[in-house]
Amino acid sequence: MTHKEKEADSLYYSGGEKLNQERAYAKGLCYDYNQLHPSKTEERDLILRKLLGKTKNHFLIEPPFYCDYGYNIEIGENFYMNHGCIVLDCAQVTFGDNVFVAPSCGFYTVGHATDVEERNKGMIYSHPIRVGNDVWIGGNVVVLPGVTIGNGVIIGAGSVVTKDIPDNVLAYGNPCRIVRKI
């Protein structure tokens, strides 16, 4: 089984030359994107469509933006991501329609082995992240591997989302907790 197949199956893996090349390619596109003048909207759009796995028609990601591979990221219609966001997309990251992400948010599909010997060998795992439709994510939110955020959710600023969040709730905190229904 290749490193990429292990990654896709959420098994421990440690990289490999192909993944390293794919990551380098994505980082080059992120660099190009982040260096463009804000008025270069067509060029920005072309780079993102080349980088990301799937996009709809209307979206905006403000630079700087960073990701691992890009092709594991899918964004819905009317998607907006503010400045300074990071998507570590070793597994699939899916954003629905009408999703708004505030500045400095992180979506991390990857984690390291808990066993010290395995961790020191560089063993990692990845689990997909899913964000539903009509979601607003406040600034400095971190979403951890394997989390699903339901439709119509608001995640308050500074939250660390460690578990699934059901539809139509306001949630915030560290760890993120449901505060009330919307």
Catalytic residue among 3, 37, 83, 112: 112
Is position 112 annotated as part of the catalytic site?
A: yes
Nearest to 27 by CA among 102, 92, 91, 86: 86
Nearest to 143 by CA among 182, 99, 180, 181: 99
Please measure the distance between the N-terminal and C-terminal CA atoms of the chain and give it in whole angstroms.
Answer: 45
Q: Tell me the torsion sign for CA atoms 101, 105, 111, 114.
A: negative
As annotated, the active-site residues are 112
